[in-house]
Amino acid sequence: MSTEHIEVIVMGGSAGSIRAARNIFQFLEVLPVPILMALHRPANDPDSNLRHVLQNVCKMPIIEPKATTLPQPGHIYLAPPDRHLVVEKNRTLELSNSPLVHYSRPSIDVLFLSAADVYGRNALGILLTGANHDGAMGMKLLKEAGGTTAVQDPADCMIDTMPRAAMALTTIDQVLPAQQLAVWLNQHFLQ
């Protein structure tokens, strides 16, 4: 895979995804692109506990963005509790409290669909472990827009419904355990 054209990574997951994200972030170097992330989380997550849990093992700063945030390389933008993370045409990030998608807000599909629309072939989507189909349609549309797709290996997942749903809908470029996703990203962005 050539990453010369990749300008953003979008990542999502649900059940088991905190552990999967930690397994990725503890081995991930600072990348020259932003990472936008939607993980299913409780609406009442106090004091951004998830951000702190992930930041403890991550070399890049993890930010819960405010409206009209312009994502910067080498930063991770985590959808806050009970808000969809949306990429706007001008590439700023917006937060939405529009209806739940697949029983979730933030929704992975909302993030992936907006990234596919704005970045097209310049987006890389990564779908992690989870118990519903959120993210599968977003991966399909990202792939149709020319983007690159990767999923956590179902055998490495706590619950493999999400990656399997994406694999059933579209061609996935890379299927790897969480830790190996970090190695793969480091190799392709930092070689």
Helix axes 161-169, 136-144, angle to 10 degrees: 30
Greatest pairwise CA separation for the chain in angstroms: 42
Which amino acid is residue 76, in one-letter code?
A: I
40 as an active site residue: the answer is yes
Angle at 138 between CA 70 and CA 36, to 5 degrees: 25
Write down the catalytic residue from 104, 107, 134, 160: 134
Paired tokens of 73: 């390389």
- Of the candidates 17, 40, 107, 156, the residue annotated as catalytic is 40
45 is catalytic: no
Active site residue: 14, 17, 104, 114, which one?
14
Residue listed under structure tokens 């933008």: 77
- The answer to whether 125 and 150 have CB atoms below 8 angstroms apart is yes
Residue 102 is among the residues annotated as catalytic for this protein: no
Interatomic CA distance for residues 138 and 129, integer angstroms:
15
Please choose, from the candidates 91, 89, 169, the residue with its C-alpha nearest in 3D space to the C-alpha of residue 127. Answer: 169
Q: How far is CA 49 from CA 39, 43, 90, 163, in A?
A: 13, 12, 30, 25
Catalytic residue numbers read 14, 40, 134
